[in-house]
Amino acid sequence: MYARRRHTYFAMMGLCIGLFVLAWGVVRLWSVPVAVGMCVVAMVIPPVAAMVANRRGPEDRWWDDPSGDPQSDEWWDELDGKKRRPH
């Protein structure tokens, strides 16, 4: 899944750069408002691409990773029901 997100990110960023280059290299010769509109669309793509690239999938078990603090990990394990406190 990581590779798919990375490929999608680079495709979206390539589309963004392509829109900018096409808008100001070609389209502005015929219509400046259309070129500006293309740039506005291109301006929205990078934040969306970052959200797509950093999205967590259902197989990404980031919440199960230990934090490195034994006391905190023990506390979270107890809350999750992984370890029971002795009575």
Task: Give 28-40 pLDDT, tens digit per residue.
Answer: 999 999 999 999 9
CA distances from 74 to 33, 61, 62 (A): 60, 18, 17
- Indicate the pTM of the whole model: 0.63
- Here the tokens at position 44 are 């929205």
- What is the distance between the terminal CA atoms of the chain, rounded to a whole angstrom? 43
Q: Which residues of the chain have pLDDT under 50?
A: none
| CA pair distance 16, 36, nearest whole angstrom | 13
Residue 82 is predicted with a pLDDT of 72
- Here the tokens at position 69 are 């603090």
Q: In a 10 Å sphere around its CB, with 0-12 CB exposed, 13-18 middle and 19+ buried, how is residue 23 labelled?
A: buried
